[in-house]
Amino acid sequence: MTAVLAILLDSYRALKAQKLFKTVLGLSVVVILGFASFGFNEQGMTFFFGLLDVESEYIYEGSKWAKTLYLGIFSYFIVSIWLGWAATILALISTSSIFPSFLSEGAVELTMSKPVRRTTMFFTKYLGGLMFVFLQVGLFCVGAFLVVGWRIGEWNATIFLAIPLVTLFFSYLFCVNVFFGVMTRSTLVALLFTVLFWFTTFGIRTADDTLSMVQFRTETLVSMSEKSLEAAEDNLKEYQEELVEIRKQGSDSAKEYYESQLKRGELNLEDEQKSLNERRETLGQLKPWGIVLDVIRWPLPETSRTIGLLSRWVEQDNEVSFDEILSGDWGEEGEGSGDRRPREIATERINELEETVPAFQIIGKSLIFELVILIFAWWIFVRRDY
């Protein structure tokens, strides 16, 4: 236990000694101050600590929209962009050297010759790396918690869920970093491969989401085409019945009109059929690619979905969603519903689908990936000659 605590303490000292640690901390303070500078009064929103006022019918002090907007900014923008991207890149740069430095010639002999098992060393050092993010996000959340409490009067403890979620998200990338760090003993190579891996997973996820979007949109279009086809068939049938009646009565002008309508209806039916066939064909072509991307995506860690869990959990008690505010849909009747385009329907379906993916699946699947990578890294670490 003494050795484990010593390694953790040393990791903390090593991180603290880095200029980047203090830089990230300083930047976090700037982000929190930026967040705090935005607030509400009875007329609407205030910016730059009240220097600029913007009147709003919906968003004002105490309104349900204000609360959702404020928490939404935290979980959608601050956590996703600052903690999920910028701070993570800085954390990766800071922690990439942990294993290569530990295993460098002259340093490794000192530690490996101590009465501590290599497995203990490996996992403690790994936890030491995660400590960087844990501490940074922890301090950040304390700031965010205080700001949210001050601005909307709600002491929302779910904000602290960002600590385990962002640490988890970082751990998916850090395990890759450790694997390459142990394998090559080079900080630069480890960092490059981690960033490459991150961008690859991002690319695959984006491709999969885009394909799903196109697929859902095409499905919506197929469904619309089927309805149109059905309507065209009904119209045609109606015209045919009308024409039979007209022919019996013998009005030439009416007969001519219905015959032209019938002809147009037949052409329309043909077009609709053709369009439907084309869309079905497109759908048929998309489906195998969707399966391929799903298969590729399955073993990869769910980085953005893990971060996305925060917006699910932080928002859960609210009557309105942050998406509704962003889209300008204030929940009034008649607006936002009705004549929607296929793209909007597809977006909504994707969002619904995302909401239905259980948290344990997102985290569990990603942790399996992390475990497998860590086992490979550990295997190299314990068996190697130094």
Partner 1 sequence: MAATAVISVNDVHKTFKRRVHALRGVSMRVNEGEVFGLLGPNGAGKSTLVKILMTVIKPTRLQGSILGKPVGHKPTLRHVGYLPEHHRFPKHLRAGEVLDYFASLSGVPRKVRRKRVDEMLELVGMQDWKKQRVGEFSKGMQQRIGIAQALMNDPRILMLDEPTDGVDPVGRREIRDLLIRLRDEGRTIFINSHLLSELEMVCNRVAIMVKGQVSMEGTIDDLTSDSRRYEIVVQDDLPPALEESLGTGVTILESDRSRLVLPNADSLQVQPIIDRLRSGGVIIESVQPVRESLEELFMRAVNSTGEDAATPGAVKGKVAKP
**Site mask for partner 1 (CB under 8 A), range 115-154, x = bound:** xxx-------------------------------------
106 scored as a contact of partner 1 (CB under 8 A): yes
Burial of 373 (0-12, 13-18, 19+ CB in 10 A): buried
Q: Return the residue of 5, 30, 267, 326 that touches partner 1, per CB under 8 A.
A: 5
> What is the spatial distance between Cα 158 and Cα 78, in angstroms, rounded to a whole number?
15
- Confirm or reject binding of residue 330 to partner 1 (CB under 8 A): no
Stretch that binds partner 1, among 250-258, 313-321, 345-353, 378-386 (CB under 8 A): 378-386
Instruction: Output the CA torsion 105→108→110→111 (10° steps).
Output: 170
> Does residue 184 interact with partner 1 by CB under 8 A?
no
Does residue number 358 form part of the binding site for partner 1 (CB under 8 A)? no
User: Which of 80, 111, 228, 282 lies at the binding interface for partner 1 (CB under 8 A)?
Assistant: 111
Q: Does 211 bind partner 1 (CB under 8 A)?
A: no
328 contacts partner 1 (rule: CB under 8 A) = no
**Nearest-approach distance from CB 126 to partner 1, in angstroms:** 17
DSSP 160: G
* Residue-level length of the chain: 386
Q: Which residue has the tokens 């970082």?
A: 170
- The one-letter code for the residue type at 150 is W
Judged by beta carbon, residue 51 or residue 110, the one nearer partner 1 is 110
**Residue 323 to residue 96: CA distance in whole angstroms:** 36
Question: d(Cα 161, Cα 71) in Å, to the nearest integer?
Answer: 13
- Judged by CB under 8 A, the stretch of 10-18, 138-146, 204-212, 336-344 that binds partner 1 is 10-18
Tell me: does residue 183 bind partner 1 (CB under 8 A): no
E strand or H helix at 178: helix 162-184
**Which residues are bridge partners to 47 per DSSP?**
52
What does the alpha-carbon distance between residue 231 and residue 225 come to, in Å, rounded to a whole number? 10
Residue 135 CB, nearest distance to partner 1 (Å)? 16
* Site residue total, partner 1 (CB under 8 A): 29
> Which window, 112-120, 240-248, 327-335, 361-369, contacts partner 1 (CB under 8 A)?
112-120
HSE value, Cβ hemisphere, 13 Å, CA-based, for 267: 6
Give CA–CA dist 267/270, Å, rounded.
5
Selected range binding partner 1 among 106-114, 149-157, 233-241, 305-313, rule: CB under 8 A:
106-114
The answer to whether residues 311 and 159 touch, using CB atoms and an 8 Å cutoff, is no
Q: Hey, what are 39's tokens?
A: 């607030």
Residues in contact with partner 1 by CB under 8 A are 2-3, 5-7, 9-10, 13-14, 16-17, 101, 104-117, 383, 385-386
